[in-house]
Amino acid sequence: MEKKKTMLDYIEATPEKIIENAKNPKELTKTLTDEYISNKYNEIYIVASGSSFNSSICAQPFMEDILGVRVNVLSPSNFTNYYKHNKNDFIFVISQSGYSTNAIEALKRARELGIKAIGITSDVESDFKKYTDILIDYKVGIETVGYVTVGVVALVQFLMTFALNTARKMKRISKKKYDEFIAAIVDSAELHKEIQEKSHAFIRKHYKSLSSMQKVYVCSSGAGMGIALEAALKIGETVKVPAFAYDAEEYIHGPNLQLSPEYTVFVIDTNDKDSERLKTIYKASRAVSDNVYFMGSDVDENSIYADTNLSPLLTPLYYLPLYQMIAYQITEDLHRWEQHPLLKEFKKIAAAKSISYVDND
């Protein structure tokens, strides 16, 4: 009997998936790239929620830099209820499972607006196929653990590769730059492994603090914001403690006022223009709580980082495993996987997945 895969198994499988999906990058996003170019679209609207939303925020700065167009990330409800259509807007909806009810409603709304319903998913046999005009598999496979990990990074890679393929085909970047970025994406797989190894040591070193988390802030800026959002989501939904992501400057304009020694704070520095400010905010947070950690460079004993010269825009490809592994290990050790029994009633009243969805957790 095959052993049931865990969240950790999928985290460890991520580097191999990055390499696999980088072998034929043009084919990976061909359908989406051709659709964008053939219809002379301009601004991009990505419609997603949960980890798919966070993946999109991770990729957004890279996409805008490479394509030279504005990339907007909307929740399905914002798109369905408030979006005002412009004929030059390129819109696609993402749901890793393909069963998210809000994403399905967004696809229906796209058709109501008279535009193509483009859906991106890991399961082309899901409910998404009933509501899409163009259905795209982003090549991650079926992740049987609900707290998705490999799917998050694979989606970031897919969106970055879409930007590269589209920009190259439109001659907005040179072949040299294109090849360099594809090679850098491949290199990120080794950095992902490096962060995995360092995360094991990091968790052991700070185990008393990490296993006692009560209230968590995750702060960053730029390309780090998507990482912060996903870190807070993963810790909140698994360890089951309040966890919030903030732009670092927003964090110090109000949320920090409740900071006290029992808080846990993660500061994520992607080593871009905001780096020194993030170090200052980290230092200020450490003056209040010992449970404050810095990702990006060797600041002090509470730091974790990777030695690399890759673009800061690529950090979401290899920074995420720290938070995924904390979420997994602390939840596993504290036996926090079980949800409160009344959550069954919650899901009956406000379902997030369609009735076809099979919950593997």
Phi, psi of 141 (to 5 degrees): 85, 180
Alpha helices in the chain (DSSP H): 7-21, 25-28, 30-38, 50-67, 76-82, 101-112, 128-131, 150-169, 175-205, 207-210, 224-238, 248-251, 275-286, 316-319, 321-334, 343-349
User: What's the rounded mean pLDDT across residues 336-353?
Assistant: 90
Instruction: Please state at what angle helix 30-38 crosses helix 150-169, rounded to 10 degrees.
Output: 40
pLDDT value at residue 359: 62
Domains of the chain: 7-188 (3.40.50.10490), 193-334 (3.40.50.10490)
User: What's the rounded mean pLDDT across residues 163-181?
Assistant: 98
d(CA 292, CA 224): 17
> Could you report the per-residue pLDDT of 16-62, keeping only the tens digit for each?
999 999 999 999 999 999 999 998 899 999 999 999 999 999 999 99
> Could you report the per-residue pLDDT of 117-150, keeping only the tens digit for each?
999 999 999 999 999 999 999 999 999 888 999 9
- Grouping H, G, I as helix, E, B as strand and the rest as coil, residue 179 is helix
Q: 171 and 294 in contact (C-beta within 8 Å)?
A: no
> Could you report the per-residue pLDDT of 208-236, keeping only the tens digit for each?
999 999 999 999 999 999 999 999 999 99
Q: How far is CA 74 from the centre of its chain?
A: 14
Q: Look at residue 361 and tell me whether its pLDDT is greater than 50.
A: no
Q: Look at residue 304 and tell me whether its pLDDT is greater than 60.
A: yes
> Could you report the per-residue pLDDT of 259-291, keeping only the tens digit for each?
999 999 999 999 999 999 999 999 999 999 999
pLDDT value at residue 356: 72
pLDDT value at residue 358: 61
Pull the structure tokens for residue 94: 């993402």
Q: How far is CA 187 from the centre of its chain?
A: 19
